[in-house]
């Protein structure tokens, strides 16, 4: 069976979404080596950190140093998260070329995550996005809790559409639809995407699945069937949002690449090199990385795990 998608762009979020929730402090140099190894693996978009309050998210406090020290590959985009004007000032000072702004389809989550209502977040973005675009930056948007909220429960797809449309109207080149707490299931995912596609072109949507309940890869397949071609993922399955109780790792990049390789869908990412990148960060954590492909490698069954000839 041929899928509507022939190639996929992966947005690697491990160094940001992955590390922001870790309890142990990761040395700046290790983050830089991790990001460098991810670009060596063929990833062309790597979220390098977040200019958020260091009191709220201590793990991202060294983003300026990380960004400074990355040996920049001219073919790689290194976006950072920016929540407000102060974050944009810090990004501009660091010489960042690409930012991501983030809000939610749930009021309570947004308040807990960035201390703003959804409307307040848009008032804030209205001040920073034109400035960022004027400086020649690329701006991406995130909609958290698109499939359910840890505080409010059900989230209406119409709300996801409304917030997505507002982000696009502001000038975001793409909006990433986040399953922040990993509650979505494939038919629900197709339902939400179906509503979004009535208004938004495929290319301006990305999917951001967390694997909290083991549905991230199934949800990815469901989204591929709908023609979505950009996926956020984190090496080794690192991840979670500190303001989303119970949120665990993102879809593991290795698991995504394994799936895509097996289906003959181009991603440009080399699985072996990706495993090498995850192996840089793994020893610095206080828990094993949850990614399934990575675990299969660790347990010695990797020889079964690469697709050499896909028809």
> Is position 179 an interface residue for Mg ion (rule: CB under 5 A)?
no
Position closest to ligand HMG via CB: 178
Whichever of 232 and 261 has its CB closer to ligand HMG, that residue is 232
Burial class for 216, CB neighbours closer than 10 Å (0-12, 13-18, 19+): buried
> Is position 243 an interface residue for ligand HMG (rule: CB under 6 A)?
yes
> Is position 17 an interface residue for Mg ion (rule: CB under 5 A)?
yes
For residue 53, what is the DSSP state?
A: -
Q: How many CA atoms lie less than 13 Å away from 285 in the CB half-sphere?
A: 22
Number of residues interacting with ligand HMG: please give it, by CB under 6 A: 28
User: CA 165, CA 156: separation in Å to the nearest integer?
Assistant: 15
For residue 252, what is the DSSP state?
A: B
Q: Is 145 a catalytic residue?
A: no
SS3 content of the chain, % helix, strand, coil (to 5): 45, 15, 40
Q: In what order do the strands lie in the sheet with 174-179?
A: 45-46, 9-12, 230-233, 205-209, 174-179, 138-144, 98-104, 80-81, 49-50
Whichever of 5 and 244 has its CB closer to Mg ion, that residue is 244
- Per CB under 6 A, the segment of 30-38, 86-94, 188-196, 223-231 that binds ligand HMG is 86-94
**Using the rule CB under 6 A, which residue among 67, 142, 258, 293 binds ligand HMG?**
142
**Residue 79 falls in which region: left (phi positive, over 0), alpha (psi -120 to 50) or beta:** beta
Burial class for 27, CB neighbours closer than 10 Å (0-12, 13-18, 19+): exposed
Catalytic residue of the set 145, 149, 172, 241 = 241
Whichever of 248 and 297 has its CB closer to ligand HMG, that residue is 248
Whether residue 12 contacts residue 46, with contact meaning beta carbons closer than 8 Å, is answered with yes
Q: Residue 76 touches which of ligand HMG, Mg ion, none (CB < 5 to 8 A by kind)?
A: none
Nearest approach in angstroms of CB 128 to ligand HMG is: 10
Whichever of 17 and 22 has its CB closer to Mg ion, that residue is 17
Question: So which residues are the catalytic ones?
Answer: 241
Contact residues: ligand HMG, CB under 6 A: 17, 20, 50-57, 81, 83-84, 86-87, 90, 102, 113-115, 142, 144, 178, 180, 208, 210, 241, 243
Contact residues: Mg ion, CB under 5 A: 17
């Amino acid at each position: 069976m041929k899928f509507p998608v022939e190639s996929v762009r992966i947005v690697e979020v491990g160094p940001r979404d992955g590390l922001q929730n870790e309890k142990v402090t990761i040395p700046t140099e290790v983050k830089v080596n991790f990001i460098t190894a991810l670009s060596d693996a063929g990833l062309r978009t790597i979220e390098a950190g977040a200019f958020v309050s260091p009191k709220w998210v201590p793990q991202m406090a060294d983003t300026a140093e990380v960004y400074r020290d990355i040996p920049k590959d001219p073919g790689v985009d290194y976006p950072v998260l920016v929540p407000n004007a102060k974050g944009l000032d810090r990004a501009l000072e660091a010489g960042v070329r690409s930012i991501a702004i983030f809000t939610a389809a749930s009021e309570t989550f947004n308040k807990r995550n960035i201390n703003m209502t959804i409307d307040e977040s848009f008032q804030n973005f209205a001040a920073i996005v034109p400035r960022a675009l004027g400086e020649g930056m690329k701006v991406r948007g995130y909609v958290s809790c698109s499939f359910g909220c840890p505080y409010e429960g059900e989230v209406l797809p119409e709300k996801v559409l409304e917030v997505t449309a507002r982000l696009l109207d502001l000038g975001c080149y793409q909006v990433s639809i986040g399953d922040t707490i990993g509650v979505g299931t494939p038919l629900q995912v197709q339902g939400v995407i179906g509503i979004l596609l009535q208004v938004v072109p495929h290319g301006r949507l990305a999917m951001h699945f967390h694997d909290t309940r083991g549905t991230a890869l199934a949800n990815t397949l469901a989204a591929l069937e709908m023609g979505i071609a950009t996926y956020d993922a984190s090496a080794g399955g690192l991840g979670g949002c500190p303001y989303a109780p119970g949120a665990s790792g993102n879809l593991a990049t290795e698991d995504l690449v394994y799936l895509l390789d097996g289906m003959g869908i181009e991603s440009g990412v080399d699985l072996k090199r990706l495993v090498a990148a995850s192996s840089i960060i793994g020893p610095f954590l206080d828990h094993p990385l949850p990614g399934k492909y990575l675990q299969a490698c660790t347990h010695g069954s990797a020889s079964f795990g690469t697709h050499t000839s896909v028809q």
